[in-house]
Amino acid sequence: MNEIPADDLVARVRAVDGVTDVYSPHSALARIPGLIAAARGTADERTAEVAVSIRDGVPVVAARVATSIDDSTADSARRVADALLASTPPDATITIQVARIH
């Protein structure tokens, strides 16, 4: 898999029309260390990220976003998936979760 910096993927997702924010796709349990660091003032409370992993030899890319109420959420999610597909290998699996609409 061509290594694409996670910050670059976040920037690409943020640039998609209709996306208002990007959140960590990891579970709340996995985010606990970051939340503790934020409470201590040593890190941001929320880390925007696009998770990239390999499952059974296939790249898996996951994003969790907020979308604008002024745009179709389904269309925004499709545009996010298209942006990630354009930045990943052709066999990658893309998962988009819409966390909020505002």
Backbone angles phi, psi at 32, to 5 degrees: -55, -45
15 lies in some domain: yes
Query: DSSP character for 71?
Result: S
Which runs of consecutive H residues, i.e. helices, occur in the chain?
Answer: 6-14, 32-39, 73-85
Instruction: Identify whether the C-beta of residue 30 lies closer than 8 Å to the C-beta of residue 79.
Output: no
SS3 9: helix
Encoding tokens for residue 21? 């924010």
78 lies in some domain: yes
Q: Say which CATH number the domain at 95 has.
A: 3.30.70.1350
Over residues 9-19, the pLDDT tens digits come to 999 999 999 99
81 lies in some domain: yes
Instruction: Identify whether the C-beta of residue 3 lies closer than 8 Å to the C-beta of residue 53.
Output: no
Number of compact structural domains in the chain: 1
Closest CA to 25 of 99, 101, 102: 99
The model's pTM is 0.78
Over residues 78-95, the pLDDT tens digits come to 999 999 999 889 899 999
SS3 94: strand
1 lies in some domain: no
Over residues 24-78, the pLDDT tens digits come to 887 666 556 555 655 665 545 456 688 888 999 999 999 999 999 999 999 999 9
Q: Which residue range forms the structural domain that includes residue 14?
A: 6-101
